[in-house]
Amino acid sequence: MSLPTLEAIEAAADLVYRRLSATPQICWPLLAERLDCELWLKHENHCETGSFKVRGGLVYLDECRDLCANGVVAATRGNYGQSVGFAARASGTPALIVVPKGNSPDKNRAMRALGVELVVAGSDFDESAQAARELAEARGMHLMPSFAAPLVRGVGTYAVELFRHLPDLQRVYVPIGLGSGICGVAAVRNALAPDVEIVGVVAEGANAYLQSFEAGGVRTTNEARTIADGLAVRIPNEAALGHVLDNVHHIVAVSDDDVLRAMGWIYSDTHNVAEGAGAAAVAAVALEREDNAGRQVAAVVTGGNVAAPLYARALATLAERPA
């Protein structure tokens, strides 16, 4: 799969904006001061489902409507499932979503509220993905993958907004789940701002993409343990990895403690709510503070769907010494 052209992403934007508004990119003075750079947050937590994923779901179900006539099946930790549910409800398509055991109750409730059938299967995302494949075949429904060309075109629309707003941007930090977001950013960067460095962000406990990046090929892990459930992937997508290898400057791994602190900073300095994966890019900016000093940098806040107990842990970090 090739990266989409700018024209293809702009065509996808025409569809996305029928249902959604563009999200803001904001340089918050307190957060910029804390991290010693001109830091802009791309607020995908402001999307209607609380995550950037909804852009891709809308494009996929529109472009693949004939395939999806009997309904769709997808695996998720939450945000992609809400994307599928939102788009399926808009088009009148039945949707079955598979989540792993122990998935966020709040995300499960949000998906059910969109009218999906929720099935719990597997101990993590990758096992849920296998269960989704089996259920799709058994029920004669379309398996909606978590990485596909229409998804990349859809989520790439946020990158068009970002790069057109910030013509002097020098570096952008992008969390990596399965890879649609960072591939969309790469496609738009190549078209609009080829000198901007793209930095991928993974969790220390779910670092398959980092290992694969360093090895130059797919490397899997035995587990993916992190509070940033949107990053909890054990098996990289081979096509996505190819684009990461070709377009990403480097990848940073952040710890759960790093993520919790970043969630707290985002609340304290901007009064925005970020989930673990949504705060991971800010955590990475902090780890690379010296290299970012004086630069214009962006961090993608991919989502804000976080359960209250975990968010309480993040807010408790504010009692620690300032960064």
Confidence of residue 281 (pLDDT cuts 50, 70, 90): very high
Instruction: Say which residues have a Cβ less than 8 Å from residue 241's Cβ, sequence separation at least 6.
Output: 179, 209, 212, 213, 217, 218
Residues 138, 117 share a domain: yes
311-322 residues labelled b (16+ CB within 10 A) or e (exposed): beebeebeeeee
Confidence of residue 16 (pLDDT cuts 50, 70, 90): very high
**Within a domain: 88:** yes
Residue 78: closest CA among 52, 43, 42, 46: 52
Residues 112, 22 share a domain: no
Structure confidence at residue 323 (pLDDT)? 52
Structure confidence at residue 143 (pLDDT)? 96
- Tell me the mean pLDDT in the region 280-306: 97
Structure confidence at residue 220 (pLDDT)? 97
- Tell me the mean pLDDT in the region 54-73: 95
Confidence of residue 188 (pLDDT cuts 50, 70, 90): very high
Residues 32, 71 share a domain: no
Residues 34, 86 share a domain: no
Q: Which CATH number is 185's domain given?
A: 3.40.50.1100
- Tell me the mean pLDDT in the region 291-318: 97
pLDDT digits (tens, 9 = 90+) for 140-161: 999 999 999 999 999 999 999 9
Structure confidence at residue 173 (pLDDT)? 99
Residues 305, 156 share a domain: yes
146-185 residues labelled b (16+ CB within 10 A) or e (exposed): bbbbbbbbbbbbbbbbbbeebeebbbbbbbbbbbbbbbbb
Last residue of a domain, one of 117, 143, 169: 143
Residues 213, 179 share a domain: yes
Confidence of residue 130 (pLDDT cuts 50, 70, 90): very high
Domains contained in the chain, number: 2
Structure confidence at residue 322 (pLDDT)? 54
Residues 282, 181 share a domain: yes
Last residue of a domain, one of 143, 158, 186: 143
- The chain-wide mean pLDDT, for the chain, equals 96
**Within a domain: 275:** yes
**Within a domain: 1:** no
pLDDT digits (tens, 9 = 90+) for 37-63: 999 999 999 999 999 999 999 999 999
Structure confidence at residue 320 (pLDDT)? 76
pLDDT digits (tens, 9 = 90+) for 208-232: 999 999 999 999 999 999 999 999 9
Residue 230: give the domain boundaries: 6-52+149-319
Confidence of residue 321 (pLDDT cuts 50, 70, 90): low
Last residue of a domain, one of 103, 126, 143: 143
Confidence of residue 78 (pLDDT cuts 50, 70, 90): confident
Q: What is the spatial distance between Cα 260 and Cα 224, in angstroms, rounded to a whole number?
A: 17
Query: If DSSP codes are grouped into helix, strand and coil, which group holds residue 52?
Result: coil
Residue at 258: amino acid letter:
D
Residues 274, 133 share a domain: no
Residues 168, 130 share a domain: no
